[in-house]
A and B are shown apart, each in its own frame.
Chain A
């Protein structure tokens, strides 16, 4: 369906467009704002990126801010002032790692830009109970112009228990590793495993730019879920390929931000779609301050030897 609509739009546009004209249109300018982007989890020490917004008609590049004051608080208690580490990135000097269930607050400003604040609670980690795999044959239906053949796919049945006491949001990613020898060492190059197929209605959205499925516990609150996800065999290059499955437990902000950002990206360039406002939890500024925890599991499966690629 996807492509049909595009084709229709293209024919319409190509067939009838006669002209384009640059118009002098006043877009109000209320000054610039500080942009704060940070994803915090229990696995990593804290990292905050600070930049400056641009007026929609500004020609310049984004400015990464190196002279901001960035303060971190845990449950209302001041922890430290983060240190600039190049490229607008601010890190902990104490190697501070956030903890599950705690609420963090960040404030940031510099001489030019107004102070922004944001707070976020790290969600509880949800453990993967088990993953079962099976090989199945699929008739491809996801796309009219896509594959016309049956596909051999792997089914991954991911079992985990949702937390009944709270509203939970999830994201699942598949990664694989390409292993090669270099100077006698085995090097693991980890990357996204590719397109995830699914037919379960609990999946809210497939985030195309990061190959992840995202969903909430709306339909299985407090239950144990066995979620089936599928990957084409051709995504794995050899026998005994490692597959790393990551179950993210994400905050509501993370969830809203990911979906709205993906939606804004998807309609980018389509003038007939209603624009999407991207979720923003930075007070007096823009950006995202999002918390998550991850549980990983690695299994090994037999992929398909490729003709091209690795030698």
Chain B
């Protein structure tokens, strides 16, 4: 470790001493919206030295030559070429115009930093346009569902949006929205994810070879960046789907200086079912309303003080609500009695980030951020009984509220230092103050009685520092070396870890590279889940003196090819070990998670290995990818399954996904998704036998003949497989230019051939009294409609050369 440090420090000095050159720096933005472009490639075409723009569109390139042929390229944008005489440090901001995947001729330049060139392995930039064009369940565009189509990433149960990356669990994903962790990225038990694609600019998934700047979770990083808002002109989008509507409005508050974006979405299942609920209630002489909805709002403001200094504020707010209100009244002996009950259940996230970008000089860029993240689950019940006699009403009211969740307050500072084209150094540090609330019940009875029962909140500090350098050793060999240091302080206990992160790339030629990576990751928070499906009641809890941090080591190797500038093919293999994974003891914790939870869990090991193939086509009329994953994921716990190794529930031997869109003409495109996965592992009973609860039961002949228990015998955990999962979705999008904008009308079909995919299996007795194994499925053939209207920017996106 020390050597790595030394090497880094030396190389930094070396660069500083050597830096007798001149620097070009600036920002790369979209010409129409002013949005910063992330990962655009900037290079000198003469020497092929270059760099990429960072998360805030900033680039810096230090060169020794004076005659520069500067090229700026970015997928879906026209490549800019500019001759420069470099005699002093200069600032150059570029505005790129988009061409959006039209015909093969438009995209000449290579993609941004093509997968071949970057040092990173296991990284996928998720094309947002694909998210919008591919068919999805109920037509509700969803980032996470699209990510599930990538190799190495698995979905959990049917239709849900949990991510299982390279054999890891859904709690091991660091989901960052503008750099702020989101704890529960799911609406409605995971059938929808919380991210509204209309407000999102860029999505990057890292499943191995994590750069040192990320830390805190074992299995993946999902870095989602929100749009900044068009700083040129007002525009927006409005859409109606089967279950939800949404709108987005963005525009300049002061042109070129300040802009905003606001995007909101709400479901209307509750409004649709309300009449039925009312009718049912009326039949029972009660007044009832009940329903479920979720909404989310994304807001971002950004202000440019100067080319040196930018301020951003972004916030996400989302909630799921389930409510039932009933009341019943009756007259008895001239007294009017009224009984009323209100039940509310809700869960949601708030995340906020206040960020200040400051360019210290041409080579050093800083980013300071304050973050806030909160996840909260609550149940509230109110009961009121009133009696009215002679216009005098007496009321009895009781309320019970249960509340649990997690609260984070953090600050961090990151620096990008680009001394010359051979180094891209990032370093920084941060601290997060966590408040875990494992569940508190508040009781109130009129004004007479109030009490609080539950666990005290647990407070903890999580801190980290990192340094990484993307080093170009030769034009073929490039590496990313770094280390992430982290610590966690809770209840007078301090855990610390040093996590080396190394990845390297060797390029044989422009079209072929091999890469390898080794990383260590540590995770200080655990998610307690008690069920096979994700529940809003799942609790985030910190490590304690008995529950240790989770650790993972991952080794990855891969080969990356570019085939005739049209196709990208990658094959990656990985091996990952995980320790201190958490599982509930058998049978515990099902309904009583919060008290004494440390006693109810087991710590164990896990490992996963496999290979992933991704064939991607990003140019032409037909674009998309085919992914295949072959993998194994296993667990071993001393006290589960008699200490024997067992397959992880989502151990999936084969996983295939095909996601393709084809442009028929300028107005019509079709999207096709086909997925196949080996069935989930499941524990099934093989025999059953008579059992008795206690001695008295055996004393009474009548009792033991009739009142025995049916005990089911399970041989081993997860030793059976459900039938395989496969499904085809098809969608057609019709685009049209209208007077003030651009409208898209989409028709989609989920599960076209109506495959009955297994959701769970259950032994039961059929109508003829025969015992059978029944399979329950969730989503059959489901058609959907979707209409969206983009207004403001007269769609210059559809712009022919």
Q: Which of B381, B683, B686 has the largest count of A CB atoms less than 10 A from its CB?
A: B686
- Provide the bound-state CA to CA distance between A38 and B699, in Å: 10
Give Cα A20–Cα B596 distance, bound, in whole angstroms: 38
What's the least CB distance linking B694 to chain A, in Å?
6
Q: Which residues on the B side are within 8 Å of A16 (C-beta)?
A: 191, 778-779
Contacts of A266 in B (CB 8 A): 587, 590
* CA gap between A18 and B772 in the complex, in Å: 19
Q: Is the CB of B773 within 8 A of A27?
A: yes
Stretch at the interface among A66-74, A223-231, A274-282, A297-305: A274-282
- Candidates B398, B690, B695; contact of A39 at CB < 8 Å: B695
Complex: how many Å from CA A47 to CA B533?
44
In the bound assembly, the distance between CA atoms of A8 and B586 in angstroms comes to 22
Q: Is the CB of B698 within 8 A of A144?
A: no
- Considering the complex, give the chain A residue whose CB is closest to the CB of B702: A87
- Of all A-B residue pairs in the complex, the 7 with the closest CB atoms, nearest first, are A263-B587, A39-B695, A271-B760, A276-B587, A53-B689, A35-B689, A272-B531
Does residue A54 face the partner (Cβ distance < 8 Å to B)?
yes
Q: Cβ of B770 and Cβ of A59 under 8 Å apart?
A: yes
Write the nearest CB–CB distance from B401 to chain A, whole angstroms: 10
B32 interfacial contact with A, CB 8 Å: no
Contacts of A25 in B (CB 8 A): 761, 773
Pair B776/A271 contact, Cβ less than 8 Å: yes
B537 CB-CB contact with A under 8 Å: yes
A44 close to chain B: CB less than 8 A = yes
The answer to whether B689 touches A287 (Cβ under 8 A) is yes
Residues on B with C-beta less than 8 A from A151 are none
Chain A residues, Cβ within 8 Å of B776: 17, 19-20, 271
B16 to chain A, nearest CB (A): 57
Contact between chains at B687 and A53 (CB < 8 Å): yes
Could you say which of B65-73, B560-568, B655-663, B711-719 contacts chain A? B711-719
Encoded as 1 (CB less than 8 Å from any B CB) or 0, chain A from 251 to 266 comes to 0000000111111111
Q: Is the CB of A37 within 8 A of B698?
A: yes
Interchain CB contact under 8 A, B292 and A51: no
Kindly state the separation between the CA atoms of A153 and B595 in the bound complex, as whole angstroms.
Answer: 24
Q: Identify A21's interface contact among B292, B691, B693, B774, CB under 8 A.
A: B774
CB-CB under 8 A for A23 and B773, given A4-B345, A18-B779, A274-B586: yes
List of B residues within 8 angstroms of A27 by Cβ:
684, 686, 773
Residue of B nearest to A64 (CB): B705
Chain A 8-30 against B: per-residue CB contact (8 Å), 1 yes, 0 no?
10011000111111110101111
A-chain residues with CB within 8 Å of residue B711 when the two chains form the complex: 261, 264, 278, 286
- Known A-B contacts A8-B345, A18-B780; the reply to A276 vs B586 at CB < 8 A is yes
Whether B532 lies near A54 (C-beta < 8 A) is no
- 5 cross-chain CB contacts under 8 A: A5-B591, A19-B756, A145-B381, A266-B587, A287-B691
Structural contact, A87 and B704, CB atoms closer than 8 A:
yes
**Contact, CB under 8 Å: A1 / B592:** yes
Task: Count A-B pairs with CB separation below 8 Å.
Answer: 213
* Given known A5-B591, A18-B777, contact A56–B537 (CB-CB < 8 A): no
Q: Which of B590, B686, B761 contacts A267 (CB 8 A)?
A: B590
Are the C-beta atoms of A263 and B588 separated by less than 8 Å? yes
Residues in chain A near residue B709, CB distance under 8 A? 261, 265
A49 to B591, CA, bound (A): 34
Which among A145, A264, A288 has the greatest number of chain B C-beta atoms within 10 A? A264
- Chain A residues closer than 8 Å to B402, beta-carbon distance: 1, 4, 144
Contact across chains for A56 and B686 when beta carbons are under 8 A apart: yes
State the Cβ distance, B766 to closest chain A Cβ, in Å: 6
Distance A210 CA – B695 CA, assembled complex (angstroms): 11
Shortest B726–chain A CB gap in Å is 15
Asked if A55 and B686 make an inter-chain contact with CB atoms under 8 angstroms apart, the answer reads yes
- Most chain B C-beta atoms within 10 Å of own C-beta, residue among A23, A139, A260: A23
One of B114-122, B169-177, B445-453, B548-556 at the interface? B445-453
**How close is B744's CB to chain A, nearest CB, in angstroms?**
27
Q: Which of A2, A27, A58, A259 is most buried by chain B, counting CB atoms within 10 A of its CB?
A: A27
CB distance from A289 to the nearest CB of B (A): 12
Interchain CA distance A286-B686 in the complex, whole Å: 13
Quick one: closest A residue to B402, CB to CB? A1
Question: Is A165 an interface residue, CB under 8 A from the partner?
Answer: no
The answer to the question of A141 belonging to the interface, with a C-beta cut-off of 8 Å to chain B, is yes
Decide yes or no whether A209 CB sits under 8 A from chain B: yes
**A contact residues around B699 at 8 Å (CB):** 44, 47
Min Cβ gap B682→A in Å is 9
Closest residue of chain B to A5 (Cβ to Cβ) is B591
Q: Is A101 an interface residue (CB 8 A)?
A: no
Q: Is A201's beta carbon under 8 Å from chain B?
A: yes
Whether a CB of chain A sits under 8 angstroms from the CB of B311 is no
Q: Which A residue's beta carbon lies closest to that of B721?
A: A25
State A54–B708 Cα separation when bound (angstroms).
14
Question: For A308, what are the chain B residues with a Cβ–Cβ distance below 8 Å?
Answer: none
CB-CB nearest in chain B for A4? B379
Closest to A143 in B: B400
Residues of B within 8 A of A286 (CB): 687, 689, 711, 713
Q: Mark B589-627, 1 if CB is under 8 A from A, else 0.
A: 011110110000000000000000000000000000000
- Among B588, B596, B773, B780, contact of A19 (Cβ-Cβ < 8 Å): B780
Q: Please determine whether B778 and A17 come into contact, CB atoms closer than 8 angstroms.
A: yes
Known contacts A145-B381, A267-B590: A62-B708 contact under CB 8 Å: yes
A89 contacts B687, C-beta separation under 8 Å = no
A27–B682 Cα distance when bound, in Å, is 13
Chain A hits for B777, CB < 8 A: 18-21
Smallest CB-CB separation from A271: which chain B residue? B760
Over the window 158-195 of chain A, the binary record of Cβ atoms lying under 8 Å from chain B Cβ atoms (1 yes, 0 no) is 00000000000000000000000000000000000000
CB atoms of A144 and B400 under 8 A apart: yes
Q: Which of B445, B591, B704, B712 meets A89, CB within 8 Å?
A: B704
A41 contacts B by Cβ under 8 Å: yes
User: From residue A6, how far is it (CB to closest CB) to chain B in Å?
Assistant: 9
CA distance A301 to B100 in the complex (A): 84
- Whether a CB of chain B sits under 8 angstroms from the CB of A148 is yes
> What is the CA–CA distance of A71 and B292 in the complex, to the nearest angstrom?
62
Is A86 interfacial (CB 8 A cutoff)? yes
**Residue A207, interface by CB 8 Å:** yes
From the candidates B591, B689, B695, B771, name the one contacting A57 in the complex (CB within 8 A): B771
Contacts A8-B189, A53-B687, A144-B400 given; 9 further ones with Cβ under 8 A?
A8-B535, A11-B322, A16-B778, A19-B776, A19-B777, A53-B689, A56-B712, A273-B532, A276-B586
